[in-house]
């Protein structure tokens, strides 16, 4: 299956692994890339240019296939050293960068001059159009179903993807609610060129997470996520647990007077404890509604092969039945 996504990134299958805190590391990224998709290292998990450079080198030793680096631009008093992180990406010979958060405009010239393909994650059509205007090569459209930050517009992918396809000329990758062949075929029908999966790749054998995290996703249904930090306009979709219930109670009690410090104990600095130590109730951690479609923990190779084989069956068999 060849699409504008596979041609743009130089990959075999139109499947990308999303950048995820404490998950997007060399073991997972290389496994996805070796299976024909596009694996992704998450730069801000590494923190420093030196650690990012080392992780890129490790990934390079594990795969000869293309892989990406996710670079999220956050509003922060103590912002990461973005120029140095970009220098590490360029020095490591990475060909694709997935940007997210704030606009990457101030860094675009540096990335493009280095020959890097840029895909920007967006949660709205207006932001996608801006990404196109600043010469991003593609956009990842994140629907309301997604784990992590879905934006504030609450538009699901059944609407958001075709709206984006109507407006944009650059390729679209569908993100949020993507888990299997049905997701891929539906995304293609809605105007995307492939899919970006986050939560689904957490529940794989190569994901560098504690098995408690994988099993929590497998056990969850589509009704087991909640939206936190809505009053702060920094909405995040997370898996329900006692810490998340505490956040929601605090938000309801504080109302318009809520400040981040009120919920910081359940939000800040918990990812290491969750992902590495398996303390899945330690705080809020991102998970998509797509958990309801995840029932096993395969290897990345088995997962991608299954998606592609089932997609071919859906297209050539099931869908053709409706055409006279």
Q: For position 238, what pLDDT does the model report?
A: 98
Q: How far apart are CA 163 and CA 148, in angstroms?
A: 22
Contacts of 11 (CB under 8 A, 6+ apart): 5, 33, 36, 37, 38, 65, 66
CA-based nearest residue to 157, from 123, 197, 130? 123
Res. 76 pLDDT band, cuts 50 70 90: confident
CB 143 within 8 A of CB 160: yes
Look at 193-197, 212-216, 314-318 and tell me which has the smallest mean pLDDT: 314-318
Mean pLDDT of 49-54: 98
Mean pLDDT for all residues in the chain:
96
pTM of the model: 0.96
CA–CA separation, 21 and 147 (whole Å): 12
**Confidence at 78, pLDDT banded by 50, 70, 90:** confident
Residues spanned by CATH 3.20.20.70 within the chain?
11-208
Q: What is the DSSP string of 277-322?
A: T--TTSS--B--GGGGG------HHHHHHHHHHHHHHIIIIIGGGG
Q: Which CATH number fits domain 11-208: 3.40.50.300, 3.30.830.10, 3.40.630.30, 3.20.20.70?
A: 3.20.20.70
Q: What is the mean pLDDT of residues 297-321?
A: 96
- What is the CB neighbour count within 10 angstroms for residue 255? 8
Of residues 192 and 78, more confidence is placed in 192
What value does the mean pLDDT take over residues 224-237? 96
Burial of 210 (0-12, 13-18, 19+ CB in 10 A): middle
Q: Which pLDDT score, from 0 to 100, does residue 75 have?
A: 78
**Averaged pLDDT for residues 20-40:** 98
Q: Is 307 exposed, middle or buried (0-12, 13-18, 19+ CB in 10 A)?
A: buried
Please state the separation of Cα 23 from the chain's center in Å.
10
Q: How confident is the model at residue 202 (pLDDT cuts 50, 70, 90)?
A: very high
């Amino acid at each position: 299956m060849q699409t504008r996504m596979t041609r743009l990134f130089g990959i075999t299958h139109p499947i990308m692994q999303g950048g995820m805190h404490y998950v997007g590391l060399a073991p997972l990224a290389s496994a996805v890339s070796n299976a024909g998709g596009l694996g992704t290292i998450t730069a801000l998990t590494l923190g420093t240019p030196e650690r990012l450079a080392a992780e890129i080198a490790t990934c390079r030793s594990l795969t000869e296939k293309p892989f990406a680096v996710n670079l999220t631009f956050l509003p922060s008093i103590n912002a990461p050293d973005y120029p140095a992180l970009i220098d590490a990406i360029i020095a490591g010979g990475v060909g694709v960068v997935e940007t997210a958060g704030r606009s990457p405009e101030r860094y675009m010239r540096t990335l493009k001059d280095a020959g890097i393909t840029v895909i920007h994650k967006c949660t709205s059509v207006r932001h996608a159009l801006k990404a196109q205007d600043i010469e991003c090569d593609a956009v990842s459209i994140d629907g309301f179903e997604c784990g992590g930050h879905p934006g504030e517009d609450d538009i699901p992918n059944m609407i958001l993807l075709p709206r984006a396809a109507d407006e944009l000329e650059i390729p679209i990758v569908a993100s949020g609610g993507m888990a299997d062949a049905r997701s891929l075929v539906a995304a293609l029908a809605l105007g995307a060129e492939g899919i970006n999966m986050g939560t689904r790749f957490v529940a794989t054998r190569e994901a560098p997470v504690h098995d408690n995290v994988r099993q929590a996703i497998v056990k969850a249904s589509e009704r087991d996520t909640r939206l936190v930090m809505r009053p702060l306009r920094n909405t995040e979709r997370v898996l329900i647990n006692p810490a998340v219930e505490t956040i929601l109670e605090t938000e309801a009690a504080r109302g318009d007077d809520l400040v981040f410090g009120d919920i910081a104990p359940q939000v800040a600095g918990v990812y290491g404890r969750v992902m590495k130590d398996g303390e899945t109730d330690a705080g809020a951690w991102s998970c998509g509604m797509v958990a309801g479609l995840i029932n096993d923990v395969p290897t990345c190779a088995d997962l991608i092969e299954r998606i592609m084989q089932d997609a071919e069956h859906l297209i050539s068999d099931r869908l053709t039945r409706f055409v006279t």
